[in-house]
Structure 1
Amino acid sequence: MSRLVRAGAMLASLGTAHTAYNLRRLPRPPAEPAPLAERVSVLLPLRDEEHRARPCLEALREVVRADPRVEVLVLDDGSSDGTAALAAEVLGPVGRVVSGRPLPAGWLGKPWACAQLAELADPASSALVFVDADVVLAPHAVRATVQLLRERGLALVSPYPRQLCASPAERLVQPLLQWSWATTLPLGLAERSTRPSLAAANGQLLCVDRAAYDRCGGHAGVRREVLEDLALLRAVKRSGGRGGVADGTTLATCRMYTGWGELREGYTKSLWAAFGSPAGTAAVTGALALAYVVPPAAALRGSRAGLAGYAAAVAGRVLVARRTGGRQLDALAHPASVAVFSWLAVRSWLGRRAGTLAWKGRPLG
């Protein structure tokens, strides 16, 4: 057991060292981006979002007012509430609201909505920016994102919004989003490489070059992917493009889930797809437990190596929180965060095997 504790502490320490290195290389968008030199389409799929889409829509209205070369296109994906009416009311003449076509066989809902939006976007647009209903953009966010895409010579860039967490469950799990790729993915290599395995992306705010999008097959090529954002980046890489994540803290905020029930179901629907297979999920969750659960458990019994491992893990979380606008104090609960995340991953695979996964009234297969 002492060897396991030392191994876990060493792994946690190496992870935090890698986090510090990554955060120094994480691309930052320009604080004062230049005016757009190209037409850009901002694409927003909505389904039953009347209860929370207003801040997103109001922000998009200001984006268009700040730069007339931006168009906003909203697709109502078969909502059963007043989503379409809300979008038309808030955007007024600065945006287009269209009704989506019925979901065809072989497609999941979000890829189908995004594919329709890309098809309807202004043919003159050379960049497509996809956003989610729970994202609130800064007025300069689109200009800064497109400038980052062009200056770094990328086909796709995904600036990670600042994640807003209110409930205890959100504060426990949501910070792992940025921490995971900041700790495990070599960001510089991932951006330069066209290897699909080196990829991280977030559909909350994702900008893709229009030609690269068409070349890789767009969302039609990822039509059955529950993690369509990551799958799209991998498709871009397979077609020869490059892309990766960036620091979107100053560009957008996102409250992804509100409370434990919504968070639990949201992660359950998709975590099965994150690691490729049950074996991959077991390997990842096992490594996480070794590095971030075993050492603090040993520290409670007086292990100095365990205490060092726990301190290293907390330090890594603090570094990410400081960079991304998170709560640094929540880092103290990192072992519990990892344990809950691992349970959600197992729950997701169980739901996948039982065929019970669904989202917004649609089965996920």
Structure 2
Amino acid sequence: MAVFPRAAGPGCGRLRRVSALTWITVGSLAAWGWLLLGQGFFWRTDVRLPDRTPPADWPAVAIVVPARDEAGVLPSSLPSLLAQDYPGRAEVFLVDDGSSDGTSELARALAARHGGLPLTVDSPGEPGPGWTGKLWAVRHGMALARARTDAEYLLLTDADIAHAPDSLRELVAAARSNGLDLVSQMARLRVASFWERLVVPAFVYFFAQLYPFRRVGRPGARTAAAAGGCVLLRREAAERAGVPERIRQAVIDDVALARAVQRSGGRIWLGLADRVESVRPYPGLASLWRMVSRSAYAQLLHSPLLLAGTVAGLTVVYLVPPVAVVAGALGGAEGALVAGAAAWAVMAGTFAPMLRYYRLPVWWAPLLPVTALLYLLMTVDSAVQHHRGRGAAWKGRTYTRPEAAP
């Protein structure tokens, strides 16, 4: 008698789907186990300036501030630079990168009103072929510093960054005490609006996940990064690394700068700041979206393959756990429910220290999957804008991918 195989019932398809979800969720949990223990403890927020023994002689410092249409933030940032309590000689060079809002005039007026360190305001004109506007301005500021001072160090700081009065002194002491060629602090960003609170701490969290601070500058480590808002750079190291000329096309210029210095034999350090803060507001989602999307695809080297991998990785690591919890609870898949809840708990637990650093309640931590979804969409949008010819657009300029630049 012939024996016919039993037809698969409707429950078998559901079983296969639930089983696949469970395995994917277990993979997500395994990824979080590795991120927790094997990614340089990126989630810890206790990396601060190292030993800061005051030097016997305080070296001269040139403070270079590239600025383009920054009249809205200069009153909150520039006076903090002019008021630096620094025992050595220091001078501020504000380089106006083609502003149309009176940035130069305002800077001079602020210097006249507040006094403090000497201020030079100048403009380099339109960027040369193959240069980004910011690095063209930094190049001009460094040239001014070489011509007018004998500065041993350059403080490269953005126009929206406010410094505590002892910021420069602490940076120089850390560099001198530890023999560092580059010292960079990730400024504390503004978290006043709802969207800033939802997006900004995750921005720093993701950055630290890519570039664990503990690995930056470690002897033999390949991880190199800096935070462009606050970089103290030894002038000799800059010349040895050939910057900014060697990185003139870089959209993510801070990471490119750190890599160039490290590859030329320089010692670098990166950590979180306590008293260096960004005063730039991002009141709505649109402004935050532009901040992330303008450089996200450049971070992926304009590679469709890396884009696909990033989308898949963000989905599995950040989105699958809450989906598994909901699907497991509704469908009775205990394995998916348990694995998803565990992965989500580890995710929230690693995010909590960053929320505390930003003085936000830890109940925001379980919302990280929502923020990750936003970042996924921003990254995809960055690629779409690039392929439409808009590339890394910022303040009226659009930059092509490096190999396409003249």
Paired with 1:96 and 1:288, the residues of 2 have a C-alpha distance of: 45
The alpha-carbon deviation at position 193 of structure 1 amounts to: 4.2
Greater shift, 204-213 or 34-43, is seen at 34-43
1:273 aligns with 2:307: no
Equivalent in the alignment of 1:359: 394
Q: Match for 2:372 among 316, 338, 342?
A: 338
Would the alpha carbon gap of residues 21 and 362 (structure 1) be closer, same or farther in structure 2, given more than 3 Å must change? Answer: closer
Tell me if the contact between 2:161 and 2:276 (Cα under 8 Å) persists in the aligned partners. no
Unaligned runs of 5+ in 1: none
Deviations 1:166-209 (A, max 9, x none): 233222222123212433444433312466x5122210111111
Which residue identity lines up with residue 334 of structure 1 in the other structure? Answer: L
Bigger relative contact order (CA 8 A; separation at least 6): 1
- Counterparts of 1:191-206 in structure 2, within 5 Å, are 191-193=217-219, 198-206=223-231
Deviations 1:265-318 (A, max 9, x none): 222211111122232233233222211110111112330110111111111110
The alpha-carbon deviation at position 18 of structure 1 amounts to: 5.0
The alpha-carbon deviation at position 264 of structure 1 amounts to: 1.4
- Counterparts of 1:297-312 in structure 2, within 5 Å, are 297-301=323-327, 302=329, 303-312=337-346
Paired with 1:125 and 1:150, the residues of 2 have a C-alpha distance of: 14
Would the alpha carbon gap of residues 256 and 267 (structure 1) be closer, same or farther in structure 2, given more than 3 Å must change? Answer: farther
Equivalent in the alignment of 2:170: 144
Equivalent in the alignment of 1:3: 23
Equivalent in the alignment of 1:228: 253
Tell me if the contact between 1:162 and 1:326 (Cα under 8 Å) persists in the aligned partners. no
Q: Match for 1:114 among 128, 138, 163?
A: 138
Greater shift, 30-39 or 308-317, is seen at 30-39
Would the alpha carbon gap of residues 191 and 32 (structure 1) be closer, same or farther in structure 2, given more than 3 Å must change? Answer: closer
Equivalent in the alignment of 1:215: 240
The alpha-carbon deviation at position 339 of structure 1 amounts to: 0.9
The alpha-carbon deviation at position 139 of structure 1 amounts to: 0.7
Equivalent in the alignment of 1:316: 350
Which residue identity lines up with residue 78 of structure 1 in the other structure? Answer: G
TM (norm. structure 1) is 0.91
The alpha-carbon deviation at position 328 of structure 1 amounts to: 3.1
Deviations 1:80-102 (A, max 9, x none): 11111111111235322112222
Which residue identity lines up with residue 129 of structure 1 in the other structure? Answer: L
Tell me if the contact between 1:141 and 1:252 (Cα under 8 Å) persists in the aligned partners. no
Paired with 1:167 and 1:290, the residues of 2 have a C-alpha distance of: 29
Would the alpha carbon gap of residues 194 and 32 (structure 1) be closer, same or farther in structure 2, given more than 3 Å must change? Answer: closer
Q: Match for 2:182 among 128, 132, 156?
A: 156
Paired with 1:41 and 1:2, the residues of 2 have a C-alpha distance of: 57
Who wins on radius of gyration, i.e. which is larger? 2
Tell me if the contact between 1:163 and 1:174 (Cα under 8 Å) persists in the aligned partners. yes
Tell me if the contact between 2:47 and 2:213 (Cα under 8 Å) persists in the aligned partners. no
Tell me if the contact between 2:52 and 2:177 (Cα under 8 Å) persists in the aligned partners. no
Equivalent in the alignment of 2:124: 100
Equivalent in the alignment of 2:74: 53
3-state SS, counterpart of residue 128 of structure 1: strand
The alpha-carbon deviation at position 67 of structure 1 amounts to: 4.2
Q: Which runs of 4+ in 1 moved over 6 A?
A: 30-33
Tell me if the contact between 1:140 and 1:251 (Cα under 8 Å) persists in the aligned partners. no
Which residue identity lines up with residue 81 of structure 1 in the other structure? Answer: D
Tell me if the contact between 2:32 and 2:317 (Cα under 8 Å) persists in the aligned partners. yes
The alpha-carbon deviation at position 20 of structure 1 amounts to: 8.2
Paired with 1:271 and 1:216, the residues of 2 have a C-alpha distance of: 25
Which residue identity lines up with residue 89 of structure 2 in the other structure? Answer: R
Equivalent in the alignment of 1:286: 312
Paired with 2:366 and 2:200, the residues of 1 have a C-alpha distance of: 14
Paired with 2:281 and 2:227, the residues of 1 have a C-alpha distance of: 12
Q: Match for 2:206 among 160, 176, 180?
A: 180
Would the alpha carbon gap of residues 49 and 184 (structure 1) be closer, same or farther in structure 2, given more than 3 Å must change? Answer: closer
Paired with 2:352 and 2:95, the residues of 1 have a C-alpha distance of: 38
Deviations 1:319-350 (A, max 9, x none): 22224545533322100111111111111111
Tell me if the contact between 2:43 and 2:350 (Cα under 8 Å) persists in the aligned partners. no
The alpha-carbon deviation at position 120 of structure 1 amounts to: 0.8
Unaligned runs of 5+ in 2: 1-20, 330-336, 401-406
1:91 aligns with 2:107: no
Paired with 2:254 and 2:311, the residues of 1 have a C-alpha distance of: 22
1:34 aligns with 2:54: yes
3-state SS, counterpart of residue 295 of structure 2: helix
Paired with 1:29 and 1:76, the residues of 2 have a C-alpha distance of: 30
Would the alpha carbon gap of residues 331 and 209 (structure 1) be closer, same or farther in structure 2, given more than 3 Å must change? Answer: same
Would the alpha carbon gap of residues 146 and 321 (structure 1) be closer, same or farther in structure 2, given more than 3 Å must change? Answer: farther
Equivalent in the alignment of 1:240: 265
Tell me if the contact between 1:58 and 1:90 (Cα under 8 Å) persists in the aligned partners. yes
Equivalent in the alignment of 1:71: 91
